[in-house]
């Protein structure tokens, strides 16, 4: 079993809710402890516990918003979080 740290980017439009627009793997880990150590070294803030934990970082999402403005004509907010995914390895 491996654990994958993935970056999830969401946008929220007024009155319609949040929508995931991107889910990209960042790093793979053999143990949960090594994943937590990696996130700690990167300065990510942890919310939750175990596999339900989510991580955030202090980063300006202006480049994401600017890229989306070319396609979106209404006001929106962009959000980013890091989530843990698990995958079993076949032998």
| Model confidence at 91: pLDDT above 80 | no
pTM of the model: 0.84
Angle value at C-alpha 12, between 68 and 54, nearest 5 degrees: 105
Residue 38 confidence (pLDDT): 96
* Neighbour order of strands in the sheet with 2-13: 17-29, 2-13, 76-87, 54-56, 45-47
d(CA 45, CA 55): 5
pLDDT for 2-37, tens place per residue? 999 999 999 998 888 899 999 999 999 999 999 999
d(CA 83, CA 23): 9
């Amino acid at each position: 079993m491996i654990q994958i740290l993935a970056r999830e980017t969401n946008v929220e439009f007024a009155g319609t809710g949040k929508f995931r627009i991107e889910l990209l793997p960042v790093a793979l880990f053999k143990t949960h402890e090594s994943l937590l150590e990696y996130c700690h070294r990167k300065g990510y803030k942890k919310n939750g516990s175990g596999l339900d934990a989510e991580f955030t970082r202090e980063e300006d999402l202006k480049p994401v918003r600017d890229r989306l403005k070319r396609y979106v004509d209404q006001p929106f907010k962009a959000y980013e979080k890091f989530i843990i995914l698990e995958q079993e390895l076949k032998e």
